[in-house]
A and B are shown apart, each in its own frame.
Chain A
Amino acid sequence: MNRYLLIVSVAAMSAFAVGCSDDNTTTDGGTVFTPKDSGTTTTPDTGTTVTDAGGSDATTADGGVQCSNKPVGCFCGTPTTQAQFLNRCTTSTALPFTITFKAGTATDLP
């Protein structure tokens, strides 16, 4: 358990150095994106405390629209690409995946 927490913590702290973009902070259809809370330390179903996935606590305000700046490296603007949708800033629990393994490809399929 301690080792797991350590791995998660290290991954969270070292994962990304990219800050949020604040050039456009509306979501699709012009709906205001208003995070429900700013908490980041979460307790998943397992009861295990997972450390913060990074990002600052401050919100970015731009024209009255807010962005949570979480998790670290998230995208704050109006998403137009798949990567931007998947990595849009959110106050939802964000969990690093830390299990190490050798990645397979199509040629490795039996």
Chain B
Amino acid sequence: MRQLIQAGVLESPHETEILQEMSMRNAKALLASLAVATGGMLAAKSASAQTACPDNAVVIRGSSASEPLINAVAVLAKAQGIDIVYSSSGGSCLGVGSVIPTGTPPVLQTTGGGKTKFDAANQNATCNLATARAADIGASDVYSTSCSNIGAPATPATVLDYLGPVQAFVLAVYDDPSFPVVISDQAAFNIFGITARGGDASFAVSPWIVPADLLTRNETSGTQQTWARAAGLPIAKFSDPKNDQTGAGPLLAKINTSPRSSILGILALNDIVATGTPPVQPKVRPLAFKAKGQDFGYYTSSTSTASDMINVRDGHYSPWANIHFFTNKDATTGKASNANVQKVLDLIETQTAVTALAKARVVPQCAMQVSRTEDQGNFTAYKPAKPCGCFFEKEASGTAPASCTACTDDTACGSSGQCVYGFCEAK
């Protein structure tokens, strides 16, 4: 398995899980065949043959960062009679291209068209679409304009850009106590813009001085798009394609197996997950980041070990982006033109979805205190209609902050408060 990851055959930790699952299913199929051949009465369903995706499934394609959320939403959608099929192939910009016409044809798939998110017990199996089709929803870590490299224009009036939860991006190193804990935007500029591209060695930033150890993705990756902007680099000047990894999984595995200080890679925070059976936490840790104009570096959460994501939520940690859900828009209502798609979007900030996001270290809009209107743009104060900061921290950390007051309805929260998911929040 690890060899497959290192070789780039597996694109992500999720695919590792899929392979394990498929191996198990194949083994079950073999047992079933043997049982039939010997007159046994085993009627186990062979899952090795891909099933057909439901005809009316809502197909989502794009950013792998959205997958934990989609897993949770798919269960809720199923209860409303809506089946969700999801594929992460192509990354953020091809998620954009699934809905917005670009210079690159949208990805059309039939065989292995997507994961069966509608099946709560088997969400990572794959199914076949009856006809080749583009996605109903394109998921992306970046605005459409950030995908100009594949010809994406600004989001047209006919397309809805639904701003979903916030994904944090990190520069990650091998977890050795002697290696640095913080990096700056200017250092990232030098490292990925000059050293990684074979430039003047006098600009090197120790210990990140070995070009081949500076691990990247590709220009269609939302992770790479975000880091290029955070470092102040044009996307075309960010690193060298020969350092690109085939996905977050291979990149994570490469850091995990490279115990040297020169290794540095770009990841989404929730790419750093335990893998294998039993799951083992990788020896990979995110660095604190000091942005342009900032006096100190900060982790995504209040400390290196916390999970409150407070620095993302309040603007101390800058390399983050909303997950965008692009879909065709009804000109009259301004909502999704496909009624089932709109129902799916309406589920994104439900309590169950917030729980799933918190555990995946992704921040729902209701827990944010700042917003931005372009990738790596300036912050403005943000106050959600139904703030969920207390509930989010409880789900992320196990306990709510001491400053939070539990409630069952608005009466416990005073005239200026409201009860949201069991805690008093500001109106």
A64 within 8 A of B: no
Q: Once the chains bind, are A28 and B310 in contact (CB under 8 Å)?
A: no
Contact of B304 among A31, A42, A91 (CB under 8 A): A42
Shortest Cβ distance from A78 into B: residue: B381
Q: Report whether B290 and A97 are in contact in the complex, using a CB–CB cutoff of 8 Å.
A: yes
Please tell me if the beta carbons of B402 and A36 are within 8 angstroms of each other in the complex. Answer: yes
Q: How far is the CA of A2 from the CA of B177 in the complex (A)?
A: 13
12 residue pairs A–B, Cβ–Cβ below 8 Å: A1-B178, A16-B295, A29-B369, A29-B381, A44-B304, A45-B304, A83-B293, A92-B303, A94-B295, A104-B190, A104-B203, A110-B194
Report if A17 contacts B (CB, 8 A): no
Residues of A near B194 (CB, < 8 A) are 104, 108-110
Q: Is the CB of A86 within 8 A of B302?
A: no
- Chain A residue nearest to B298 (CB atoms) is A92
Query: Within 8 Å CB of A47, what residues of B?
Result: 177
Contact B304 A99 (CB under 8 A): no
**Nearest CB in chain B: distance from A4 CB, A:** 9
A96 — which chain B residues lie within 8 A by C-beta?
182, 296-297
Q: Which residues of A contact B379 (CB under 8 A)?
A: 79, 82, 85
Cβ contacts under 8 Å, B175 to chain A:
45-46
Quote the shortest CB–CB distance from B397 to chain A (angstroms): 11
* A78→B370 CA distance, assembly (Å): 12
* Nearest CB of chain B from residue A104's CB, rounded to whole Å: 5
Q: Does B189 contact A (CB under 8 A)?
A: yes
Interface residues of chain A, those whose CB is within 8 Å of chain B, are: 1, 15-16, 27-31, 34, 36, 42-48, 50, 53, 71, 73-74, 78-79, 81-83, 85-88, 90-97, 99, 101-104, 108-110
Q: Is B55 an interface residue (CB 8 A)?
A: no
Q: B183 interface residue, CB < 8 Å from A?
A: yes
| Known pairs A15-B295, A93-B288, A97-B187; A110 contacts B402 (CB<8 A) | no
Judge if B181 is at the interface, Cβ distance under 8 Å. Answer: yes
Least distance between B124 CB and chain A CB atoms (Å)? 30
Chain B residue with the shortest CB-CB distance to A85 = B315
A29 with B426: CB separation less than 8 A: yes
Q: B268 in the interface, Cβ–Cβ < 8 Å?
A: no
Contact A92 B381 (CB under 8 A): no
Chain B stretch 157-214: residues in CB contact (< 8 A) with chain A: 175-184, 186-187, 189-190, 193-194, 197-200, 202-206
Partner among B183, B187, B204, B316 whose Cβ is within 8 Å of the Cβ of A90:
B316
* Most chain A CB atoms below 10 A, which of B189, B198, B304, B402: B304
Complex Cα distance, B193 from A47, in Å, reads 30
- The reply to whether B293 and A82 form a contact with Cβ atoms under 8 Å apart is yes
The CA-CA distance from A41 to B184 in the complex, in Å, is: 21
Compute how far the CA of A82 lies from the CA of B202 in the bound complex, rounded to whole angstroms. 31
By the criterion CB–CB under 8 Å, are B383 and A28 in contact? yes
Closest beta carbon of chain A to B23's beta carbon, Å? 33
CB A5 to nearest CB in B, in angstroms, measures 12
B285 at the A/B interface (Cβ < 8 Å)?
Answer: yes
Contact partner, B303, options A31, A53, A93, Cβ 8 Å: A93
Chain A nearest CB from B26 CB (Å) reads 39
Q: Which residue of chain A has the shortest Cβ distance to B233 in the bound complex?
A: A109
Q: Is B410's beta carbon under 8 Å from chain A?
A: no
Residues of A contacting B109 in the complex (Cβ-Cβ under 8 angstroms): none
With A79-B381, A97-B183, A109-B197 in contact, do A104 and B189 touch (Cβ < 8 Å)?
A: yes
- Chain B residues near A94 (CB, 8 Å)? 295-298
Q: Which residue of A lies closest to B416 (CB)?
A: A30
Contact B199 A110 (CB under 8 A): yes
Q: Does the CB pair B203–A87 fall under 8 Å?
A: no
Contact between A27 and B183 (Cβ–Cβ < 8 Å)?
A: no
Report yes or no: A46 in contact with B303, Cβ–Cβ below 8 A: no
B302 touches which of A27, A36, A48, A103 (Cβ 8 Å)? A36
Residue B314 CB within 8 A of the other chain: yes
B216 to chain A, nearest CB (A): 15
Given the interface pairs A86-B315, A108-B194, the reply to whether A101 lies near B296 with Cβ below 8 Å is no
B27-39: CB near A (< 8 Å → 1, else 0) gives 0000000000000
Checking A28, A42, A88, A108 against B200 with a beta-carbon cut-off of 8 angstroms, the contacting residue is A108
Chain B hits for A30, CB < 8 A: 383, 426
Per a CB cutoff under 8 Å, which of A42, A71, A81, A82 touches B295? A71
Q: A29-B382, A109-B194 are in contact. Are A34 and B403 (CB under 8 A)?
A: yes
Q: Residue on B with the closest CB to A31?
A: B426
A58 to B181, CA, bound (A): 27
